[in-house]
């Protein structure tokens, strides 16, 4: 209790200082070949510039020019542009789970009250994080979660974002339970478009090439995207990205794959690293994404054991892209398949599937190691 009180006092002091600037203040960090902007609201990435094949900087993430628009978004369409989602990312079946015989109930904010999505009605994405430290290449945010949204116990999380030559963006999320055992599964929720809307080909991700060489299995879901418990293989299906493939090649075959009458990808792929690499090793790229429009390539390294891939199936051409991405004479809007979300996380709803043996990766306590989500995003120019 003394430790918790000390942490609360410390965080309140930092919170007062941070609020002088406000949660919507932009923090810009840069290194050779990369420039990124964050705000404390949701510990959110709002802009990320890397050079294209011509050496021109391109903003490759979706968002808004005005930071206040993120607040308005959350109160209306709630797209989750660029924040950390938690305390538990993705879906929780029936908005309930049990730990040590104690059952918890979280807000049923998805599918008309059938499940919890991204931590509940007011998840980490809608919280004002505290700025702990910031300099020219790195910024750290913190959040004290005092049993938010019905989750058991208090948790303190630190999110450190760093850019370096490469160019590279590194995200480190460290969560420490302060009293009760609790599920923790955070994820960065960035909407990527490596084509940066430079032309018609870059306005969607259908022509982009995606490769996930270690994603030979996936978690089956029902028609509201909640896991059934079954694990299947991608071989011979439209979900097979173990070899490089254009995202649009098989997407029309993905009918009812992302929910009832939905066509597109919104799937949790299991990462089975080879035997010479550990289950949480970060030595191999888990995903490669390439844009023919700009020549930009992204490689993702992570310690997580799953990737949720979402092809922006619900975007409908009503949200304009940022000024940094307006390349046409008329306003460009985000169309269906106009972006790709890559969530590095553990197995979706693993807390409700004991047969998967995921507790050691999803349930944490005061006497356990912290929950750590490491993700490294390396940028380069693809081979022509």
Alpha carbon of 212 to those of 189, 215, 236, 373: distances in Å? 18, 5, 15, 19
Strand ranges of the sheet holding 306-310, from the earlier edge strand across to the other edge: 191-192, 340-345, 306-310, 266-270, 217-221, 227-233
Query: What CA–CA distance (Å, rounded) separates 325 from 59?
Result: 7
Question: Which residues are CB-neighbours of 69 under 8 A, at least 6 positions away?
Answer: none
Query: What CA–CA distance (Å, rounded) separates 233 from 280?
Result: 21
* Alpha-carbon torsion angle 68, 74, 77, 79, nearest 10: 90
Our answer to whether residue 114 is catalytic in this structure is no
Question: Which residues are CB-neighbours of 270 under 8 A, at least 6 positions away?
Answer: 215, 216, 217, 218, 219, 231, 305, 306, 347
Q: 125 with 42: CB under 8 angstroms?
A: yes
Q: Can you read off the two tokens belonging to residue 310?
A: 């979402």
4: Cα separation from own chain's centroid: 28
Question: Which residues are CB-neighbours of 380 under 8 A, at least 6 positions away?
Answer: 296, 297, 299
Selected catalytic residue, list 149, 180, 225, 343: 343
Q: What is the CA radius of gyration of the chain?
A: 20
Q: Can you read off the two tokens belonging to residue 279?
A: 């289950």
Selected catalytic residue, list 189, 220, 369, 384: 189
Our answer to whether residue 353 is catalytic in this structure is no
Where would I find the H helices in 88-232?
none
Give catalytic residues, as residue numbers. 189, 343
């Amino acid at each position: 209790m003394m430790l918790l009180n000390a942490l609360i006092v410390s965080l309140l002091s930092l919170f007062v200082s941070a609020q002088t600037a406000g949660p919507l203040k932009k923090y810009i960090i840069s290194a050779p070949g990369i420039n990124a902007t964050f705000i404390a609201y949701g510990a959110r990435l709002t802009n990320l510039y890397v050079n294209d094949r011509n050496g021109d900087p391109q903003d490759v993430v979706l968002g808004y020019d005005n930071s206040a628009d993120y607040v308005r978004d959350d109160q209306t369409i709630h797209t989750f542009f660029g924040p950390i989602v938690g305390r538990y990312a993705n879906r929780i079946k029936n908005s309930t789970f049990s730990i040590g015989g104690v059952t918890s109930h979280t807000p049923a904010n998805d599918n008309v009250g059938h499940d919890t999505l991204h931590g509940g009605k007011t998840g980490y994405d809608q919280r004002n994080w505290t700025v702990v430290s910031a300099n020219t290449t790195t910024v750290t945010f913190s959040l004290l979660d005092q049993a938010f949204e019905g989750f058991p116990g208090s948790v303190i999380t630190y999110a450190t974002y760093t850019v370096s030559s490469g160019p590279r963006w590194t995200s480190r999320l460290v969560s420490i339970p302060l009293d009760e055992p609790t599920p923790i599964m955070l994820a960065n929720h960035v909407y990527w478009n490596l084509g940066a809307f430079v032309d018609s080909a870059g306005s969607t991700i259908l022509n982009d090439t995606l490769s996930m060489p270690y994603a030979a299995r996936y978690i089956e879901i029902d028609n509201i995207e909640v896991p059934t418990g079954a694990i299947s293989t991608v071989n011979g299906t439209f979900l097979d990205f173990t070899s490089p493939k254009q995202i649009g090649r098989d997407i029309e075959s993905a009918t009812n794959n992302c929910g009832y009458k939905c066509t597109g990808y919104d799937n949790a792929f299991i990462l089975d690293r080879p035997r010479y690499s550990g289950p949480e090793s970060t030595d191999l790229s888990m995903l490669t994404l390439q844009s023919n429009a700009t020549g930009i390539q992204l490689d993702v390294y992570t310690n997580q054991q799953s990737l949720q891939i979402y092809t922006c199936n619900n975007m409908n051409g009503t949200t304009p892209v940022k000024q940094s991405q307006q390349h046409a004479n008329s306003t460009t809007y985000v169309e269906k398949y106009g972006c790709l979300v890559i969530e590095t996380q553990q197995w979706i709803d693993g807390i409700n599937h004991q047969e998967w043996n995921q507790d050691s990766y999803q349930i944490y306590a005061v006497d356990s190691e912290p929950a750590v989500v490491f993700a490294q995003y390396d940028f380069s120019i693809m081979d022509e």
